[in-house]
């Protein structure tokens, strides 16, 4: 009786696999390191935004402090490696788990806040995290951490000669974030989250424990973002508080989803593919004195989308959505 539904889910999966396959062969033709760099960042932000979308899009708890989890992932990996010689792969998992735990610890008081107050709290908490790291001498304080690079190694996940390994890892990360979302979308949690977003009181009356739902979304979201942060630390091999925990990261996770379609499966991907290259290109071509032009550009994009298609760019593709629009 639900052929259409099953069909649509399968089509999403096949489309994703196809896109991933195409993306995987692009670097064979694009040898330019600068362009490859942009592709890595685009995939990374796609993954981050997809993860952000789980808490803020599906569950409706707008977070503007996800830079905290990004930074925690980066710092956990870098510290474990430089201080204890723990391989980044384990650092990645550790960073994810720590972030998930902290997201839940913070959610415990914060999820009692409604709407905008929650968003404001997330900004403040991320700033506090930034200040704490800035003043923590053992963790390098404001100077940050230099991750020693000793040549190409998958074990240590560092590569000097080629960006391709990073590219493929970022691709896998984006695929994982997408797949997790796809899988959660048709799960108990997915339905609960959307119900919580639309109407918590009604959700509660239907047996949904609203608080636990939010906690679950926060944990999954923070875990995935932290893995992204770990990756970033390895990718740039030098981190300092501002460069991994600054407010701009919180924005750069939220904006692709908002542009592409918040709370949708494809929105963050689509948004990242459009937004990140624009950001990077404006930054390098109108950079220097024009610092901030990239921000102006995507500020303008967001205004445009808010006026023309508030549900995001995916609205252009979704037939059902169009039919539904009165």
Q: How many CB atoms lie within 10 A of CB 75?
A: 28
State how far the Cα of 30 lies from the Cα of 298, in Å rounded to an integer.
Answer: 26
Out of 205, 288, 289, 319, the residue judged to bind other proteins by CB under 8 A:
205
Q: Interface with other proteins includes 2 (CB under 8 A)?
A: yes
User: Among residues 207, 288, 289, 307, which is the contact residue for other proteins, using CB under 8 A?
Assistant: 207
Pick the piece of the chain touching other proteins (CB under 8 A) from 85-93, 192-200, 251-259, 280-288: 192-200
Cβ pair 97, 77 in contact under 8 A: no
Distance (Å) of CA 170 to CA 24, 151, 175: 11, 20, 9
Q: In angstroms, what is the minimal distance from the CB of 112 to other proteins? A: 14
What single-letter DSSP state applies at residue 153? B
Q: Is 199 in the site for other proteins (CB under 8 A)?
A: yes
Choice from 3, 116, 150, 320 touching other proteins (CB under 8 A): 320
Number of residues engaging other proteins in binding (CB under 8 A): 28
Q: Which is nearer to other proteins, 283 or 321 (CB)?
A: 321
260 and 266 Cβ atoms separated by less than 8 Å? yes
Under the criterion CB under 8 A, does residue 194 sit at the interface with other proteins?
yes
Cα–Cα distance measured from residue 270 to residue 292, given in angstroms and rounded to the nearest whole number: 23
According to DSSP, the β-strands at 238-239 and 145-146 are antiparallel
Q: Is 198 in the site for other proteins (CB under 8 A)?
A: yes
**Which range in 98-106, 196-204, 233-241, 247-255 contacts other proteins by CB under 8 A?**
196-204
- Which residues, at least 6 apart from 58, have a Cβ–Cβ distance to it below 8 Å? 181, 184, 185, 190, 193, 194, 197, 217, 263
Smaller CB separation from other proteins, 72 or 314: 314
**Which residue from 96, 119, 268, 276 is spatially nearest to 185, judged by alpha carbons?**
268
Of residues 30, 33, 124, 209, which one binds other proteins by CB under 8 A? 209
Site mask for other proteins (CB under 8 A), range 159-188, x = bound? ---------------------------xxx
Residues near other proteins (CB under 8 A) are 1-2, 4-5, 186-188, 191-192, 194-195, 197-199, 201-210, 263, 320, 324, 326
């Amino acid at each position: 009786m639900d052929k259409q539904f099953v069909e649509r889910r399968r089509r999403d999966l096949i489309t994703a696999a196809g896109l991933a396959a195409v993306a995987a062969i692009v670097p064979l033709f694009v040898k330019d390191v600068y362009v490859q760099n942009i592709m890595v960042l685009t995939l990374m932000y796609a993954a981050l935004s997809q993860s952000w979308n789980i808490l803020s899009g599906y569950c409706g708890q707008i977070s503007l402090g996800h830079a905290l989890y990004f930074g925690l992932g980066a710092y956990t990996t870098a510290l474990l490696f430089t201080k204890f010689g723990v391989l980044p792969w384990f650092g990645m998992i550790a960073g994810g788990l720590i972030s998930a735990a902290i997201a839940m610890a913070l959610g415990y008081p914060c999820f009692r806040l409604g709407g905008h107050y929650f968003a404001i709290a997330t900004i403040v908490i991320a700033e506090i995290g930034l200040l704490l790291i800035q003043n923590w001498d053992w963790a390098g304080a404001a100077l940050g951490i230099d991750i020693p690079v000793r040549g190409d190694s998958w074990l240590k996940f560092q590569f000097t000669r080629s960006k391709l390994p990073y590219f493929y890892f970022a691709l896998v990360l984006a695929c994982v974030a997408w797949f997790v979302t796809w899988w959660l979308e048709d799960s108990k949690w997915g339905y609960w989250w959307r119900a919580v977003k639309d109407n918590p009181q009604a959700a509660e009356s239907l047996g949904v424990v609203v608080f636990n739902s939010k906690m679950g979304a926060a944990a999954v979201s923070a875990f995935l973002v932290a893995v992204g942060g770990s990756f970033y630390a390895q990718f740039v091999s030098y981190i300092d508080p501002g460069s991994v925990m600054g407010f701009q990261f919180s924005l750069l996770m939220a904006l692709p989803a908002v542009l592409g379609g918040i709370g949708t499966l494809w929105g963050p991907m689509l948004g990242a593919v459009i937004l990140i290259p624009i950001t990077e290109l404006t930054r390098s071509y109108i950079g220097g004195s024009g610092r901030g032009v990239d921000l102006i550009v995507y500020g303008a994009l967001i205004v445009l989308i808010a006026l023309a298609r508030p549900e995001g760019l995916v609205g252009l593709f979704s037939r059902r959505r169009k039919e539904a629009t009165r």
